[in-house]
Chains A and B, each alone.
Chain A
C-alpha cells in the first residue's frame, strides 16, 4: 500500500496531465458536437502545432510566449481549411468530410516527416526543472503552468459558448442545423469558426506540452487516442463532459501508473473506455436516449 501523501501526489500529477487531455478533448468534442464528424486530422493538427512551437523556440521564442501568436494563427488556419477545403470538398455529405479530414491528416504528417525527419526532439526551457513545493509533493513547473493556461482557456471558451451571440449561434447549429439556418445564422461560417476554435485549442495544448514532452511527426496520435476515450466517457459533443472526463482520465492514468507500474499507466484508461462502452454508451454527460 502507498501512503496517502504518495496517492495524493499521484492524483495531483494526474490532474496536471488531465488538464491537457481535457483541452485536446474539448477541441475534438466541440467539432464533433457542431459538425457531427470525427475530425481525423485532429492528431496531425496537434503535431503540426507542436512543430510550429518547436520552430518558434528555435527562433528564440518560448512556447508560453509563442502561444499568443500560434493560437490565433491556428484559428485562422482551421477556419480557412474548413471554409475553403473541407466544406466545398465534402458537398454536404458527412462521409466525405471524414475522408477529407483523413486525407488532410496524411498530407500534414508527411509534410512534417519530409521537413523534420522522424527524429524525436525536445526542448530545454529555463523553468524546465523548477517545481512548485506543496510540502509533501513537488509539482513540475512546466506542467503547473500548463494546468493554469488550460484553465484560463477553458474559462474563455465557456464564456464564449454560454454568454455571447457567437456562442449561442454555435449551440444552435449544433442542436439543429436547419432551425439555425432558418433564423438567419450563417451555418458554413459557424462550421468554420468551430473548426478554427478546435485548431486554436490544439495550438494552446501544443505550446503547453512542448516544454515537458517531446515532439515527432506522429506524436499527436497518442493524445488523440486518449482524447477519444475522454470524449466517449464525457459524452460525444459535451464540452463540460470533455473537461471533467479529461481530468478524470489524467488521474486514472496516474493512479494506474502508480499501482501497475509506469509503463502500464494507460492500461487503466482503456479499461475505463471498455467499461463505459458496456455500461453507459452515451457517456456520463451524453444526451439521454
Chain B
C-alpha cells in the first residue's frame, strides 16, 4: 500500500476511569473508503473524537500524511485537513445555512471561502436555494447535507462521517450513500462510521468491526459482507 493518508497505531482513549478503545490499528490510504462498524456504545464516536482531538488520546499514535496529530488541539487537526462530521450533525441552528457553511472554512481564510462555497453549492444545489434560511428549520436530510457541506468547506484531506444516515428515511439513506460514493469518486478519502452494515460494506474498500475496545474483524468490504463471522461479531454473540 502507498503511504497511508491516515495511520493509527495502538490507539487508546476513554473517559474518566473507563478505557473505551484499547489499542486500535487502522490505515486509510488516499482515495479509500474505510468503514468502522459495531453495535451501539462500542466506541465508534469515541474513535472519531480522539482522531479530531476533542478528547485526549491516552496511548498510541495518530499520523496524518506522516505527521503526528495525536495531542494536537482540534483547530490544528482541522487545519491539517482531518475533518469530522459529527453524529447528530451539530450544525448551528440559529445561524443561516450560509453562515454555517462559512464557519466550515473558518481556518481557511476569506479568499478560499468563496471558492469552497461555489464547490459546495455545486454539490448541494439544495443548500444554495436555502442559503438564507435558518439552519434549525431545515429538514433532517437537509441538515445532514449542511453538516457534510460544512465539512467540505474545510477542504478535507480525510472526511470522517459519523452515522450520516442516522434518522433519515430509507429513500434518503440511499441518497446519502450515493453521495458518499460520489465524494469518494472525486478523490476524497472517507472514514465511514455506520449502522447500515451491508450498505457500508458494499461501498467500503476495507472495513473493521469494533467490539470491546478492539477490532475483532477486519478485511476488504466485499469479503466481510460474505463472512459468517460478521453477524456473530456484530451482534456480540
Seen from chain A, the residues whose Cβ lies within 8 Å of a Cβ on chain B are 165, 168-169, 171-172, 175-176, 178-187
Whether the pair A171, B91 counts as a contact (CB closer than 8 A) is: no
**Chain A residue at smallest Cβ distance from B76:** A184
Whether the pair B78, A184 counts as a contact (CB closer than 8 A) is: yes
Distance (whole angstroms) from the CB of B94 to the closest CB of chain A: 6
Chain B contributes a number of interface residues (CB within 8 A of A) equal to 26
CA distance A183 to B79 in the complex (A): 9
User: Contacts A168-B99, A171-B95 known; A182 to B90 CB distance under 8 Å?
Assistant: yes
Whether the pair A186, B94 counts as a contact (CB closer than 8 A) is: no
CA distance A185 to B154 in the complex (A): 12
Distance (whole angstroms) from the CB of A186 to the closest CB of chain B: 5
Which chain A positions have C-beta within 8 A of B103?
168-169, 172, 180, 183, 185
Interface 1/0s, chain B 41-75, versus A by CB < 8 A?
00000000000111000000000000000000111
Which chain B positions have C-beta within 8 A of A175?
92-95
CA distance A63 to B90 in the complex (A): 45
CA distance A175 to B95 in the complex (A): 10
CA distance A176 to B103 in the complex (A): 13
For window 76-98 of B, CB contacts with A under 8 Å fall at 78-79, 83-86, 90-95
**Chain A residue at smallest Cβ distance from B147:** A179
CA distance A206 to B226 in the complex (A): 72
Whether the pair A178, B86 counts as a contact (CB closer than 8 A) is: yes
Whether the pair A184, B106 counts as a contact (CB closer than 8 A) is: yes
B134 within 8 A of A: no
B164 within 8 A of A: no
CA distance A187 to B54 in the complex (A): 10
B220 within 8 A of A: no
**Chain A residue at smallest Cβ distance from B73:** A186
- The listed residue (A168, A176, A179, A184) touching B75 by CB distance below 8 A is A184
* 9 A-B pairs (CB sep. < 8 Å): A168-B99, A171-B92, A172-B95, A175-B92, A175-B94, A176-B90, A178-B54, A181-B52, A182-B54
CA distance A179 to B162 in the complex (A): 13
Which chain B positions have C-beta within 8 A of A171?
92, 94-95
User: Contacts A168-B103, A176-B90 known; A181 to B95 CB distance under 8 Å?
Assistant: no
Distance (whole angstroms) from the CB of A194 to the closest CB of chain B: 16
CA distance A172 to B101 in the complex (A): 12
B107 within 8 A of A: yes
B104 within 8 A of A: yes
B157 within 8 A of A: no
Whether the pair B106, A185 counts as a contact (CB closer than 8 A) is: yes
- The listed residue (A165, A176, A187) touching B92 by CB distance below 8 A is A176
**Chain A residue at smallest Cβ distance from B85:** A182
Q: Give the most central of B90, B93, B95, B99: most A CB within 10 Å.
A: B90
CA distance A182 to B153 in the complex (A): 12
Interface 1/0s, chain B 100-115, versus A by CB < 8 A?
0011101100000000
B150 within 8 A of A: yes
Which chain B positions have C-beta within 8 A of A183?
78, 103-104, 106-107, 150, 154
CA distance A180 to B154 in the complex (A): 13
Which chain B positions have C-beta within 8 A of A180?
103
Distance (whole angstroms) from the CB of B132 to the closest CB of chain A: 15
Distance (whole angstroms) from the CB of A118 to the closest CB of chain B: 45
